[in-house]
Amino acid sequence: MNSVQKFISRLFFNVSADRSGNAFPPELQKALKKSPHAGERCDEAILRVRGLRSALMKDHTEITVNDLGAGPGERLVSKRKISNIARKSTQPEKYSRLQYRLMQLTRPSTVLELGTSLGLTTALLSMAHPEARIITIEGCENTARLAQKNFSTLGVSDAVVQVTGPFEEVLDGVLSLYHPIDYIFFDGNHRMAPTLNYFLKSLNHISDKAVMVFDDIRWSDQMESAWDEILKHPRIRCSVDLFGMGILFFDQTMPEGRHKIRY
């Protein structure tokens, strides 16, 4: 899907009629309402992360990046400036804010992130719910080292467990060791087959009320196809499609539904 097609698709994106009704996930409904108290804490955390990102965007040091989750046509190994990584790899702030509030509302004990990058979203998740143990996997050693420094700068090092290595090699061990997992953020691969594989593996290690968040679900045709295929799985109780990000709920006490929201 090219940029023009994405724009047209987003322009005519459906808005769920159930957004304010009982069928809409209560956790996400509250998160979208932006309660004032949560907003104050969120704003403070966002400002800290934004300040660090601004500093990183001025760092033109080049590092060798092994991008194991590169999409079609992208180079796997390349020299990249830290400033470019900070500019391109950080989640859009509106989605970061939403995840912050969702973390506060669902209060997961164990969080798994696939794709650390510079660790800015990782840190934000930790600041949202400091009691959570966050395990984050990054395939590139050089990028992981930068993330470790950023965790220290933002004061979340004690809450974050870093795992470095290809997902294919380390994911099984992580899932078994930290089972059950309450919240998973998929942001480390933009190809269909691996994304589906990680999703299916994770299903065997999630808690009864788990939440899964998929970033960049329309980043490429492969990611959009992966998202469409994932939605067919019968264990999903409720899904929310925000166009750029998708959220799955597995709590069987929740009203069942498939929702699309222009967000």
Write down the pTM of the prediction.
0.87
- CATH for the stretch 17-260: 3.40.50.150
Q: Using one digit for the tens of pLDDT, what is the confidence trace for 132-142?
A: 999 999 999 99
Residue 16 — very low, low, confident or very high, per pLDDT cuts 50/70/90? very low
Q: Using one digit for the tens of pLDDT, what is the confidence trace for 32-90?
A: 665 444 556 788 999 999 999 999 999 999 999 987 655 444 547 789 999 999 998 77
Selection from 108, 125, 120, 122 nearest residue 27 by Cα: 108
More confident call, 121 vs 36: 121
